[in-house]
Structure 1
Amino acid sequence: MAIRGCNSELFIYLQAYFVTIATILGTGILGLPVMLSRSGLYPFLVTFVIDAFVQSLLVCFFVDLLQRAVVAQHQYQGEESMPLNAMLEEDIALVSDDDDGSSNVQFTGAIMKGKMLHIREIPVVQTPNLHLLGKLFLGCGLSQAFDVIIILQFIALLICYALAGSEAFAQLIGIHHFYVIPVFVWVLTLAIVFALQLIKSVVSFLTFIKGTLLLGTAAVTFYVGLTVAETVSNDFASCWSSISHGNCVVNTMPYTFEKIAFKKKQISKYHAAVQAGLWTCVLLNIIWCWTVLEIVPQTVAKECAAESARLRLHVNSTAREESSYTCVGEMSLESAAAKGEISTIPLTKLLKRDHPHFTWVAILIQVFILVSISVSYLTIGTALHHTLSGIVQTVIVKKHRTSSDKSKVNKKSTGEWCMRTVISLAAFALVFAVAMMDPEGFIDILEKLVSFTLNAEVGLFIFLMLVFSKRGSYRNLEIPLPTPRFISYLVFFLPLFFNFAVFFDIYDTTMSIIYPQHYQTSLVINTTTEPPDSTFSMFATITDTNITDTNITGTNITGSFSTPGHWPNLENSTVLPA
């Protein structure tokens, strides 16, 4: 498919921009606020901004790598004899793995230095995909390991979206999310596998709606947060809890890159579109996390303190009677993390309970989450389908590499289509099975499996690709938009940063296994004297019971509460309210 005309070209760049947003605003919007129960706002800002700059640097390198993947296929297909000493403008027929297979993407641009090819001898070149990158720039063994970790990463992300999406739908319609998982997963899966062309257009439109909803939702919710002014605790010892949840935007870049013309100006605009999408998401994520922290208590102890104060205000000031209430801190970020909930669950509950005149804001948040998760599932699902199709294409279409077989490339065999469909459906079936077996595993999967695979992908495999793509037989490849030399030296910063995150993930997971902290605080509050002149006591015990609903509301209270992991110190303690 040749990209012609200003309108078509603008649409391609807008699509790259919105797909980038859809990729990053998935788990970040849902999971980051929950993990901030430990770190707070300021430590999050420090690590998140550092992570954003590293991701931006990674995008620069990956654009370079995608160009090299196109050019390197000439050499890979046996054109090493072409001398690299003169620029050649030629058309490269790129085999696209779109569902219909009706057309090829046409890249035009400076490809290699060498003598003129016969005009009819147009080499067949695959569109870049993650599998192809591994095959070209990683050796045997590493390439297969890269395929495995990419597929595992996509599946883990899709499991998170399946769980989060079902929770959002279930909260809106009032049923348990376990029964929503099958409908959510399979409706979107069938759309990805059998209506991919339609999905690519719909995702851009829905992402625009998603971004608009987020801006409106964040603005209104932030206004509500200013009226609540929840106290935020900052702990720099937990600052790395947010950095391990950054989304690797490069995973969706191959299937948006295939749509642009292979020329310097067009690639430069594409690069700018992806960078703009990345930094838009950084800003939106910061605003959203700040908003949630302004409304939702970080810890169970904080929420129970607030509820105890509200309970005290409701005691009859003229009667001496004892009232007892068990506080479990359901509407806190810490509780949401323990239960595997997305951050909007406690947020919408608090808005409906404490601010009934802002019920419409809670509904707006729920609608935003529904659109957001659906778009993210479609985006990552498309990337998974694109990668699996690339693997199938590499296995089956080897005979179509020569120019004499170009007519055969345009006609996809029924067997190839069936194989791509079956493999993709099998991968999505695994997503469905895991989601059904662990319907409350959103945070665990996000914090451990997704984070580990994302960081390992960049810290090891993509770093090696970037190094190997400029060495050996690939040293003299000419591309339209190479990375500036002063930036190229920063490539060695990538393994330091992302491998540190890998080791942090391993350490954090190991410590959580050795020293499990899956406890809930159960506070029995007894009011036995006349308020407001007298005091009351709160007796804290450690339980592992399930959290139940509560209708008690609360405000701030002065008192001393220990942090998670030291809750036994609360036992039989007395807290004096102001």
Structure 2
Amino acid sequence: MNIVYLETYFVTVSSILGIGFLGLPLLLDKSGLYPFLVAFLTASVVHILIVFFIVEILQKSHALQVKHLKEKLNDDIYETLEDHSNNEGQAILSKQDAVRSPDLHFLAEMFLGYGFKYVFDTLIITDLSSFLILYALAGSESFGELLGIKYLYIIPVFIWCLAFIIIFAVSYIGNLISVLTLLKGVLFSLAVIVTLFVTSGRQENASNNFNYIQDSLLLSILSAGGSVFVMPFLFAKIENDSSQIKKYRLAVVMGLVTCSILNIIWCWVVFDIVPQHCSPIIERNKSSHEPIVCNSLERAKENGEISTVPLIRVIRHEHPYFLWVATVVGIFIIISITVSFMTYGTALHHIICGIVESKFPSCSSLESQRSKNIAKIFTSSFISFIFFAIIFVIAMLNPKAFLEVMEKFCSLITCFLHILICLMFLSSRYKNVEILLPLPKIWASSAYLVLLYLSYSVCYDIYISVMPYLQPNNI
């Protein structure tokens, strides 16, 4: 059973570890390291609270289904159904068959109002699709940087190979993600240790400015929020037992804490090596053969590059004999992005399966149930295939400004999703059912604080998105 908690831990890590590595270090160009730490640690605490909220929502979902089942059946029949398994060729209802595995769509149906559940479904599918587009672009860019191939040629192979694994081998993907996450952890440790050793203390004119602390706000929220997407299908792997639920919750929290520590270390490494502002470097890019005249966090942010690009340039230019470190960093980023794409793709497929499940009528006979299951698998696979096709087309259109899209659009949707999750939690508190690990009443107050924090983030996101168009020179 412990393998379930290890899988929960590694899948949680893979759902979070990726966004931060790609974009967070670039936000230190004006604020510096210390303001970033304040913003990022605050966002991490908020997401730990949200993890606790979701675990209670998942428990309430199970308890409400059991309660509704008891209302349909008298207690004697219910006990009989619990104690007997299916006979040969005969369909007998069991508690396990009656209680549906949780997914985000089903939770929205149970705890959000009639209109809000459709808003929630739309936001979460849009958010996951946006992440997958960003990972497709970042993954192909990383492959192109490492292999010297134009990344547009890599996008089709990257997306469709992983899409077929997600759709047709979804039952095995958890173990694959766990192994790859362990591998990228080893590569990350090696890359960080060697990189710090060969370039320690290079950043001599680093500055910290708390006036720019809000620069890290949105991406900090975004980088720590991926666990929301994977928690429901990981929760389905455990029994309704207080000890197992507690270990599951601990595994998710430890995954989030691990990612927070690794993100901070990564930002520190990049900040220590890559200048905040322009540092002239003349070299030839292998793929474009264009001269690069400036290498800094600020320039990389303006060009919409991922954080490894300026780091690898510094190593290649100043420490060519340690060029293998740049290769290790490149391989690490490729594995990280690949794992993140599989994780978010699995979450998208799981939500689509949940929506399809809710649209199919219940069946009484065993034969009808088998036909229904085949139809559900075919329908959900076909819809997932369509979504991956849309993701592929958008990625091939080569949208620019990677960091800007990730920071503003995805962070806005993520904030709205987390607000709706907090509303789910507050709504679930009014459901009169007993659960095994209830949170104290004071946690409802913490939910209002989280709502306040997320509402401010939404307002700030809208403000920085709209203000450039309201400047006098743009009117």
Structure 1 residue 91: Cα displacement: 5.4
Instruction: Please tell me whether the aligned partners of residues 230 and 296 of structure 1 are also in contact (alpha carbons under 8 angstroms).
Output: no
Counterpart check, 1:356 vs 2:348: no
Between 1 and 2, higher relative CO (CA 8 Å, sep ≥ 6) is seen in 2
Q: Which residue of 2 aligns with 1:151?
A: 125
> Kindly tell me: are residues 491 and 458 of structure 1, through their superposed partners in 2, closer, same or farther at Cα, counting changes over 3 Å?
same
- Distance in 2, matches of 1:90 and 1:365, equals 55
User: Which residue pairs with 1:335 in the alignment?
Assistant: 299
Contact kept, 8 Å, 1:230 with 1:295, in 2: the verdict is no
Instruction: Give 5+ residue unaligned stretches, structure 1.
Output: 1-8, 94-117, 309-325, 518-578
Change (3 A) 1:214 1:416: same
CA contact (8 A) 1:399 1:405 kept: no
Counterpart amino acid of residue 55 in structure 2: V
How far is 1:408 from its partner? 5.2
SS in 2 for 1:399: coil
**What's the CA shift for 1:264?**
0.1
- Shift in CA distance, 266/151, structure 1 to aligned 2, threshold 3 Å: same
- 1:127-172 residue CA offsets vs partner (Å, 9 max, x unmatched): 1100001011111111001000000000111111011100100001
TM-score by length of 1: 0.74
- Which of 225, 240, 247 matches 2:214? 240
Pair 1:38-2:37 in alignment: no
Distance across 1 between alignment mates of 2:158 and 2:61:
36
1:142 is the counterpart of 2:142: no
Equivalent residue in structure 1 for 2:48, among 45, 56, 60: 56
**Equivalent in the alignment of 2:163:** 189
How far apart are 1:38 and its partner, in Å?
Answer: 2.4
1:436 is aligned to 2:396:
yes
RMSD across aligned positions (CA): 2.8
After superposition, the Cα gap between the structure-2 partners of 1:419 and 1:233, relative to the gap in structure 1 and judged at 3 Å, is same
Secondary structure, counterpart of 2:362 in structure 1: helix
Q: Tell me the amino acid that sits aligned with residue 50 of structure 2.
A: L
Alignment partner of 2:333 out of 350, 369, 372:
369
Deviations 1:396-441 (A, max 9, x none): 1x314xxx55775566543222211111111112211221213433
Q: 1:329–1:335: 8 Å Cα contact kept in structure 2?
A: no
The TM-score, its normalising length taken from structure 2, stands at 0.89
Q: What letter is aligned with 1:376?
A: S
- Per-residue Cα deviation, 1:100-127 (whole angstroms, up to 9, x for no partner): xxxxxxxxxxxxxxxxxx9967661211
Q: Which of 238, 247, 253 is the matching residue for 1:260?
A: 238
2:29 is the counterpart of 1:29? no
Greater displacement, 120-129 / 406-415:
406-415
Q: Which residue of 2 aligns with 1:494?
A: 450
Q: Deviations over 1:449-494 (max 9, x none)?
A: 11111111112x11211111122xx2x2111111133334311111
For residues 453 and 119 of structure 1, do their structure 2 counterparts lie closer, same or farther at Cα, with a shift above 3 Å needed?
closer
Alpha-carbon deviation of 1:393?
0.6
Q: Distance in 1 between the 2:155 and 2:83 partners?
A: 43
Equivalent residue number for residue 105 of structure 1 = none
Cα offset, 1:333, TM superposition: 1.5
> CA separation in 2, counterparts of 1:415 and 1:256?
24
- Report the Cα offset of residue 60 of structure 1: 0.9
Structure 1 residues 331 and 76: alpha-carbon distance in aligned structure 2, compared to 1, 3 A threshold: farther
CA distance in 2, matches of 1:328, 1:368: 24
Provide the identity percentage.
Answer: 39
Q: Following the alignment from structure 1 to structure 2, what is the Cα–Cα distance between the partners of residues 138 and 345? A: 43
Q: Distance in 2 between matches of 1:478 and 1:270?
A: 19
1:348-497 paired onto structure 2 within 5 Å: 348-396=312-360, 398-400=361-363, 404=364, 409=369, 412-459=372-419, 461-471=420-430, 474=431, 476-497=432-453
**Alpha-carbon deviation of 1:90?**
8.8
Measure the CA separation in 1 of the matches of 2:167 and 2:36.
37
Change (3 A) 1:406 1:71: farther
Q: CA deviation at 1:36?
A: 1.8
Contact 1:18 1:204 survives alignment (8 Å) = yes
Any conservation in 1 of the 2:136–2:155 contact (CA below 8 Å)? yes
Q: CA deviation at 1:230?
A: 4.3
SS at match of 2:41: helix
Q: Larger Rg: 1 or 2? A: 1
In 1, the alpha carbon distance for the partners of 2:398 and 2:461 equals 21
The answer (yes or no) to whether the contact 1:203–1:375 under 8 Å persists in 2 is: yes
CA distance in 2, matches of 1:340, 1:122: 49
Q: 1:213 to 1:514 in 2, by over 3 A?
A: farther
Paired letter, 1:478? E
Does the residue aligned with 2:359 lie in a helix, a strand or coil? helix
CA shift, 1:266, in A, is: 0.4
Residue 283 of structure 1 corresponds to 261
Q: Which amino acid is 1:387 matched to?
A: I
- Tell me if the contact between 1:146 and 1:457 (Cα under 8 Å) persists in the aligned partners: yes
- Checking the alignment, whether the CA contact within 8 Å between 1:163 and 1:440 is kept in structure 2 is no
Task: Kindly indicate whether the alpha-carbon contact (under 8 Å) linking 2:426 and 2:444 is maintained by their aligned counterparts in 1.
Answer: no
| Structure 1 position 29, deviation (Å) | 1.0
CA separation of 1:89 and 1:411: change in aligned 2, threshold 3 A: same
Whichever residue aligns with residue 392 of structure 1, its letter is V
Report how many residues are paired. 454
